[in-house]
Structure 1
Amino acid sequence: MAIKKTESGWLADIQPGGRGGKRFRKNFKTKAEALRWEAHVKTKIIKNPDWEPDKKDFRRLSDLMRFWHDHHGKSLKAEKNTFGRLLLVCERLGDPYGHQVTPEMLSEYRTARLAEGITPNGVNREIAYVRSAFNELIRLGQWNKENPAAKLRQFKIDEQELSYLTTEQIKELFIELEKSNSRDILLVASLCLATGARWSEAIGITKRNIRNNAVSFNGTKSGKSRCVPIPEGLTKRLIDHGSGLDDDSALFCNCIEAFKFAIERTSIILPKGQSSHVLRHSFASHFMMNGGNILTLQKILGHQSLTMTMRYAHLSPDHLEKARELSPFAKIF
């Protein structure tokens, strides 16, 4: 910050905000005018800091993501997976400065990822992680610019029909499960089919979770505990299976590979990427086909949003039945 004598007069060259702040330069005929102008600029900035443009943020994108992780990401259930994906995005972008990340850059990134063979759904998820991280940085006061991913629309994904097992397929599958060398697999699959639990939830139960012919599931995906009634016969089998274990010891090991092998030995063909989750879909589908209530199903499955549960609504016997009764065709003919 200086006022210097020049051939044409006096040059005021000041940077009131310090290094990285905006520089102001102006020529004056006299030193007094230069000093008055310097004082005026300083006063303006003190009274109204917004008058001066923000200093450039020289943190790399990975630095911002690490700040997000340390102050928010660590609290997430999928902390390692989410943080790992964010760091990979930083790496693929060349780890630019945060202020260099633009919607155009992210749009080009999406296009490149699609060309690499990543599914639209996978690309949507990556951009959603970036969008969420910047939203949290804004909330924490660590980012005062626009979220670069805010205006990027997700690729439209065609809704896929959820697969479920028919009664005959369930019987066929359980015949193969009974042949398995795993002592846990039959009960884990039974629990999933009886309660709609996720495989990870089922293998996490302890004896303490079984009370009054009901099973409570803790540490769920939504973070909320839920309790689901089960048949008395299944209750007895679970208690007998855990005989000799402490109340807080897990009843099962993760026998997912044994389940996959059992599926392969049947005539059942599942969509790509789906295995044990078909039991959860089968519970929900049969629940609705047998006349179950959609709101009750939401509570059983532990869905935070009814939108997720509505995927099974069309299986209800009376779903959209009014379309048959109230259509103009029905009224006229």
Structure 2
Amino acid sequence: MAIKKMASGWLVDIQPAGRGGKRFRKTFKTQAEAKVYETWLKNKLVESPEWQPPKKDLRKLSELVDIWFEHHGLGLRAGKNTYSRLKHLCASLGDPIAEKFAPEQFAAYRRIRLADGISQNNLNREHSYLRSVFNELRRLGYWKSENPLEKIRQFKVQERELTYLTHAQIQKLLKETRRGRNPDTDLITRICLSTGSRWSEAEEIRKNQIQPRLLQFALTKSGKTRAVPIDEALYKELMDRAEEADSERLFKYSYAAFREAIERAQIKLPEGQLTHVLRHTFASHFMMNGGNILILQRILGHSSLAMTMKYAHLAPDHLQEAVRLNPLSFTS
């Protein structure tokens, strides 16, 4: 429709920028006035393109995720996994038009997921993933509007109690890993207890990562390589295993065998801390034996000291200065 005779006069109804552009509607007393307005409007858009209203952005949320993956996510170490999670999230949200995606939609989605038993940690992770998509696309110039998730607060999750194994539990566990069906489980377990490595880092060790009394961890969570000293006995055992190995990789996957060893040793662990208890055990005993918190940070490969400080309270002299240096201790 352009110009049409109505009971109230001559109606100009036009979208000069095409589908998705702004629609102009105005009524005039005469057809001549309507035609003059229509011509003026078209000329205005030609003479001053900046005056032309921008077309509506009809891209869906999943399309933005595709763009993010192509221009950024593809280069991330966990990019494919994150991309898969994001696509599933888009589907769960109903894959709305991104420009119309509002904070209250995500808030409503979280309420439903919480009621379904999904943890706050998982929802915070989804929030971070999707918020990062908008932030990165803004930086790259593929998204001009505000980030719809910028002002939504994440859930404040109470820190879980860190569980570590006692000396007696370590002995029971090693007894079970030695007699298990998978011969690799015992050595992987002892690498974790000796170096504070994550299970996946130890499980995926390759021959070139073994140096004289030193283990280099390359496939780390942060993507950075770190090296941790090991004793002579463990070094020799690893070298023997490297000579026996048919490939560059020393071990086969042993997660299930470790779970069985934990169950046979009758060790009860909090949910989500199965193999990670070995890393906690290393860090906890390191501090209880008088280790330095800054050295522990380097061994564990934490990007910030704040992550390592959760073990600080285990140090024998933790905050003892409070007793020695408080003002009453100087008052006679």
Structure 2 match to 1:315: 314
Q: Which one-letter code corresponds to 1:206 in the other structure?
A: R
* Residue matched to 1:20: 20
- The residue number in structure 2 matching 1:128 is 128
Please state if 1:149 is matched with 2:153. no
Unaligned runs of 5+ in 1: none
Deviation at 1:80, TM superposition (A): 3.4
SS in structure 2 at match of 1:243: helix
Match of 1:39 in 2: 43
Q: Which moved more, 1:16-25 or 1:274-283?
A: 16-25
> Structure 1 residues 74, 37: CA separation in 2 closer, same or farther (over 3 Å shift)?
closer
Deviates further, 308-317 or 73-82: 73-82
Look up the equivalent residue of 1:279 and give its one-letter code. Answer: L
For the structure 1 residues 35 and 162, does the alpha-carbon distance in structure 2 shift closer, same or farther, using more than 3 Å as the test?
same
Instruction: Indicate how the Cα distance of structure 1 residues 252 and 21 shifts in structure 2: closer, same or farther if over 3 A, else same.
Output: same
Superposition RMSD in Å: 2.5
Q: Deviations over 1:41-94 (max 9, x none)?
A: 5434x3xx3x54432111221222222222222222223332222122222222
**Structure 2 unaligned blocks of 5 or more:** none
Query: Does the C-alpha gap of structure 1 residues 52 and 106 become closer, same or farther in structure 2, counting only changes over 3 Å?
Result: farther
Paired residue for 2:268? 269
Cross-structure match for 2:218: 218
Matches within 5 A, 1:1-333: 15-26=15-26, 30=33, 35-36=39-40, 38-44=42-48, 46=49, 49=50, 51-245=51-245, 249-332=248-331
Cα distance in 2, alignment partners of residues 35 and 54 from structure 1: 20
SS in 1 for 2:243: coil
What is the Cα deviation at residue 21 of structure 1? 1.6
Q: Is 296-305 or 188-197 further displaced after alignment?
A: 296-305
Amino acid at match of 2:293: I
Is the 2:17–2:53 Cα contact (8 Å) retained in structure 1? no
Which amino acid in structure 2 is aligned with residue 92 of structure 1? S
1:86-130 per-position Cα deviation (integer Å, ceiling 9, x unaligned): 122222222211122100111111111111111111111111111
Determine the C-alpha separation between the residues in 2 that align with 1:42 and 1:10.
Answer: 24
| Paired letter, 1:230 | I
- CA shift in 2, pair 1:152/1:6, >3 Å: closer
Deviation at 1:11, TM superposition (A): 6.6
Tell me the secondary structure at the aligned position of residue 228 of structure 1: strand
AA of the residue aligned to 2:113: R
For residue 17 of structure 2, give the secondary structure of its aligned residue in structure 1: coil
Higher mean Cα deviation, 107-116 or 34-43?
Answer: 34-43
Query: Mean alpha-carbon deviation: is it higher for 144-153 or for 84-93?
Result: 84-93
Q: 1:54 to 1:227 in 2, by over 3 A?
A: same
- Offset of residue 234 of structure 1: 0.5
Mapped partners of 2:132, 2:195: distance in 1: 32
Contact 2:192 2:278 in 1 (8 A): yes
Structure 2: which amino acid aligns with 1:63?
E
Between the aligned residues of both structures, percent identity stands at: 53
Secondary structure of the residue aligned to 1:59 is coil
Whole-Å separation in 2 of the counterparts to 1:153 and 1:192:
36
Are the aligned partners of 1:10 and 1:34 in contact in 2 as well (CA < 8 Å)? no
User: Counterpart amino acid of 2:17?
Assistant: G
TM-score (norm 2): 0.89
User: CA 1:54/1:331 → structure 2, altered by over 3 Å: closer, same or farther?
Assistant: farther
Residues 45 and 52 in structure 2, CA contact (< 8 A), matched pair in contact too: no
Q: Alignment partner of 1:242: what SS?
A: helix
Q: Distance in 1 between matches of 2:272 and 2:7?
A: 76
SS of 1:81's partner is helix
1:298-327 Cα deviation digits (max 9, x unpaired): 111111222211211221222222222233
**In 1: Cα distance, 2:45 partner to 2:148 partner:** 32
CA separation in 2, counterparts of 1:6 and 1:182? Answer: 85
Answer yes or no: is the 8 Å Cα contact 1:65–1:86 preserved in 2: yes
* Aligned counterparts of 1:33 and 1:302: Cα–Cα separation in 2: 68
- CA change 1:95–1:317 in 2 (3 A) is same
Secondary structure (helix, strand or coil) at the match of 1:215 reads: strand
Task: Provide the C-alpha distance between the structure 2 equivalents of 1:9 and 1:236, rounded to a whole number of angstroms.
Answer: 96
